[in-house]
Structure 1
């Protein structure tokens, strides 16, 4: 018998949860503890997962090989990721998918990150004691330490081909990844328990926010990639419609698989053989983008966190939403390539901001559909960043672009 894939399991769990909540009502609250267990299991491994993923990603970049092109790529990745998170904030404030839901009790804000001055906020990003940061689950401080650790490992490559500490981190990361994979097997049960409990207490009022959330995701995705497509096309002096057609195989694979990793070989092929980007630029920039450029995830996190805040009646100031942009950007580092990786990243972002983790159940129900928009934005922007760098480095073959 063929095994049902993870995404389909989540969709089935969501449908059954909504139906069960509508039929059995508040009686479904009796199984909500199963959802709470699922959330705790995710939290249990998140700190170590983030640390190993970032150290491995940053440490894998050899300084000598990295050079000007790699630095230019990272600057571009930061710009596009921040822009995506900002557009997400604008879109969710304009459409307001989580506002006005009847039957939800307002949640108390549990964090401290929002309630300090900007200067103190920036200072608070630097850990005094990384072990204390780990014990307190201070994700921003953990990410900052992990970046420095990864950079140090990268510099050690000048003396050693693969430092022992790097092999230890990679091996440890694989163990943590296996733990997360096993936890995610429990995701359909956890999401069913949480969402059926919410639906049981709210009834049909839960459905409209889910549809509005998806509309917000697709609207923002279209706006972002259209903006970048036009800007890069103008810079390279090519027809934007012709450029998007060059990426059609990449687009088809990304939409049908919702996987950036699976799309990568097709992505490189389109870059080199259809667009005319040199093999050197294509391999380096696309590989870096795989781990470090997650515009779709940044968009998902900014929209999801504010939707969850709206859903629970938590008012967010302009300063708080700026923090969410920073959190959404930082949470994409190390790009978690596991089933339900976006849900794990969402848990990280909610941990950072102190917003209710229970909101994951609401978003998880439609995350497979959101994943289409997320993956599409990831791969298109990866190709556009690679194309921009190729043109700037004069490693773009216009004859290949015009011929194919």
Structure 2
């Protein structure tokens, strides 16, 4: 394992430790001194400000990060074939399957409702304790447009104003169109502009990595506040949330991917998953699509017999754009936290969450807890306190392994489906098994 891999793993363990420390201390306080005055002093002047500082650092970086990531991701789709047949099919396939993934997630969390059961009085007290920042977010959520107005508002009339208001969906629509513009315009100046966006992405990613290093301390503070407020009920809600996430991911992988392989790729799902098992295991172990990419390309060419030009194009783009698992995780998390805090989202708001999750899958940072900024902004959009993300960070390592497995498997399925639609001469046959050797 590389030094970077060891550091990432170490950070994940630190986050888990912070989760457990904050949870245990909060439970002890909840059981022994729930009404003590010193508890309010600690949460108001120590743990609360630390958590707010962490969130503000994330919000400071998230707009330039998502804008640059989405622009670069879309622009790179056209570098090989200028968004010709394979590029357009890859983009359409990614959006379609990501939409299916998020619909499954929203259905699962609405039917099973893992966040229900919290005392509304306690939840409202939690919102009041969150401070002026949370109340401002709630106020913006109440003023957010609905119905047809929300659809029109997706296209910003002033991108600077949209950024200032943290209107993440409008910002993503702008970045999407800007990326398409870079694909259509091929001049020296446009290449310089793309290079500048890549530089912005790299710098912001680096800064985001530094901020994420503060996550263990912030998680400890968040979990102390939550556990001191909700007690043992918190554990019950959290186990239900993990179960719903894993169930939705399994349904997408076993049912949806199998149907795509059988209907569109004309492949046996059992044989496909058997051939892809090396990449699947690597994805689960590393929890990184980028780290699994070399293995996935080799498996696609040698074990699955996919044409090299299509496999490399689809898998390279898919490592950042075809994030089914990430989109599902984000959708379930937002609705779970909305249920937890007793905030009901109507169909229009849930549709908005779905659209942001699909686009967020393209722009999600490849750093530990990379979904955190997207989730935090979506929470603010729908009126849920961003502090609630502390509930999911402690179990994020396990869920990250699961959703990365789905992401990598989805990339291989996409390569198989798109290969099947290409001319016959472009599709290579699976290699013959090697002769046994002593």
TM-score bracket, shorter-length normalisation? over 0.9
- CA displacement 1:161-209 (0-9 Å, x = unmatched): 9721122221122221221111111111011101111101221111011
Shift of 1:92: 0.8
Which runs of 5 or more structure 2 residues have no equivalent in the other structure? 128-134
- Of residues 102, 107, 127, the one that matches 1:90 is 107
Show the counterpart of 1:104: 122
Aligned length: 403
Show the counterpart of 1:37: 53
- Of residues 246, 261, 264, the one that matches 2:290 is 261
Report matched runs for 1:2-401 at 5 Å. 5-25=10-30, 26=34, 27=39, 29=43, 30-62=46-78, 64-102=81-119, 104-106=122-124, 107=127, 109-112=138-141, 116-157=145-186, 159-160=187-188, 163-235=191-263, 236-393=265-422, 394=424, 395-400=426-431
Task: Decide which moves more: 343-352 or 246-255.
Answer: 343-352
SS of 1:338's equivalent? Answer: coil
Native 8 Å contact 2:114 2:237 kept in 1 = yes
Quickly say closer, same or farther: Cα 1:399–1:257, change in 2 above 3 A. closer
Task: Decide which moves more: 363-372 or 61-70.
Answer: 61-70
Quickly say closer, same or farther: Cα 1:46–1:138, change in 2 above 3 A. same
Quickly say closer, same or farther: Cα 1:177–1:145, change in 2 above 3 A. same
Native 8 Å contact 1:327 1:352 kept in 2 = no
Native 8 Å contact 1:110 1:355 kept in 2 = no
Quickly say closer, same or farther: Cα 1:401–1:141, change in 2 above 3 A. farther
CA distance in 2, matches of 1:85, 1:319: 14
Native 8 Å contact 2:379 2:386 kept in 1 = yes
Task: Decide which moves more: 210-219 or 330-339.
Answer: 330-339
CA distance in 2, matches of 1:95, 1:391: 37
Quickly say closer, same or farther: Cα 1:237–1:14, change in 2 above 3 A. same
CA distance in 1, matches of 2:320, 2:248: 22
Native 8 Å contact 2:15 2:215 kept in 1 = yes
CA distance in 2, matches of 1:352, 1:402: 53
Shift of 1:328: 1.5
CA distance in 1, matches of 2:261, 2:432: 12
CA distance in 2, matches of 1:192, 1:99: 24
Quickly say closer, same or farther: Cα 1:346–1:289, change in 2 above 3 A. same
Shift of 1:73: 0.7
Shift of 1:402: 8.2
Show the counterpart of 2:131: none
Shift of 1:117: 4.3
Task: Decide which moves more: 74-83 or 89-98.
Answer: 89-98
Quickly say closer, same or farther: Cα 1:135–1:296, change in 2 above 3 A. same
- Point out 4+ residue stretches in structure 1 off by more than 4 angstroms: 1-4, 112-115, 401-404
Native 8 Å contact 1:331 1:349 kept in 2 = no
Structure 1 length-normalised TM: 0.93
Quickly say closer, same or farther: Cα 1:178–1:238, change in 2 above 3 A. closer
Quickly say closer, same or farther: Cα 1:367–1:114, change in 2 above 3 A. farther
Show the counterpart of 2:130: none
Native 8 Å contact 2:90 2:414 kept in 1 = yes
CA distance in 2, matches of 1:204, 1:146: 43
CA distance in 1, matches of 2:237, 2:427: 45
Shift of 1:119: 2.0
